[in-house]
Chain A
Amino acid sequence: MPKLLMFHGRECPHCRAMMPLVDRLEKETGSSIERHEVWHDEKNADLMRSYRPILTPQCGGQLRVPTFLNTETNDAVCGEMPYEKLKEWATK
C-alpha cells in the first residue's frame, strides 16, 4: 500500500488552507495521509530533505510546502490546490 505524506509548515497559510481538504480526503476515501510539520521538527525536516531529488523537479526546483508525496510512485504535488486535484493525486 502506498504511503501518502504531507509536508507542511505551521506558519504557512497555504498549508493551513489545505488541512480541511486533507481531513475531507481521509474521510471520503478512507486513506491516511501522514502529516509532517517541517519548520518546528528537525526530524520531519530531515525526512523532507531526504526526498529532495524527487521533490524539487516537481516543485519549482525547491523544497516547498505544502507538498504531498506518494512514496510508492514518487508522484508529488505542491502548493494550495482544489480538492479534486488533491484527490486525483491520492487515488492515482
Chain B
Amino acid sequence: MKKFWRCFVCNDIHYGFKPPELCPTCKVKNAYVEISAKEAKMIACAAAEGDFTKEDFRRAIEKFTAANPFKVNPDRDRTDILLEGIFSNEASHDLKYCPCRLMSKDWEEDLKIVCPCNFLIHETYQGRDKGECWCGLFIKR
C-alpha cells in the first residue's frame, strides 16, 4: 500500500511504497519519514498558491511530453474542448477525469482515467503509427 513521506529537511512530500533515498529537492540522503494523509494534505495544500488554470495545465502537459515520443495534439480546437471537459470534471468530481470516459465509482479504476492517464496501453496508441490516447489529447510524434 502506498504511503505518504515527508523530507525532514525541506518538507517535500512523496507518495509511494518507499521513500526516495535521495531527496530530489534538497539532495539530502535518507531524509524521508512516513506521515499521515492528513499531514500530507495540509503541507501540500498550504504550499500551493493560486489557481491551476487550463493554460497552466496545458504548459504542464507540454513540458511533460517534451522528452517523450508523444506530444500534445496541435489541434487547438480539439484540445480546448478537452481541457474544458477535464476542468469541468475536476470542478464537479475533484479530479481531472477524462471527458471521453466515465467514472465507474471504483476508486482504483477511476484513478486510471485521470488525465494524463497511462495511454501507452490504449489500443488506440499501442502498435499504431499514428497512435493517440483515447480522447486524442496526446498523439505520437
**Chain A residues at the B interface, C-beta cutoff of 8 Å:** 7, 9-16, 38-40, 45, 48-49, 52, 60, 62-65, 79
Contacts and interface: CB of A to CB of B under 8 A. Distances in A.
B134 to A, nearest CB: 6
A15 to B, nearest CB: 7
B48 to A, nearest CB: 25
B61 interface: no
Contacts of B134: 60, 64, 79
B20 interface: no
Main secondary structure of the interface of A (DSSP, over half): loop
Contacts of A7: 102
B82 interface: yes
Contacts of A64: 100-102, 134
Main secondary structure of the interface of B (DSSP, over half): loop
A15 B92 CA distance: 20
A12 B99 contact: yes
B85 A12 contact: yes
Given A64-B100, A79-B124, 10 more contacts: A9-B102, A11-B82, A11-B84, A12-B100, A13-B136, A39-B85, A39-B92, A64-B134, A65-B101, A65-B102
B88 interface: yes
29 contacts: A9-B85, A11-B81, A11-B82, A11-B85, A12-B135, A13-B135, A13-B136, A14-B135, A39-B85, A39-B88, A39-B92, A39-B99, A39-B102, A40-B88, A40-B92, A45-B102, A48-B102, A49-B102, A49-B105, A52-B104, A60-B134, A62-B109, A62-B112, A63-B102, A63-B103, A64-B102, A64-B134, A65-B100, A65-B102
A44 to B, nearest CB: 9
Interface residues of B, number: 25
Interface string B94-126: 000001111111000100110000000011100
B89 interface: yes
Contacts of B92: 39-40
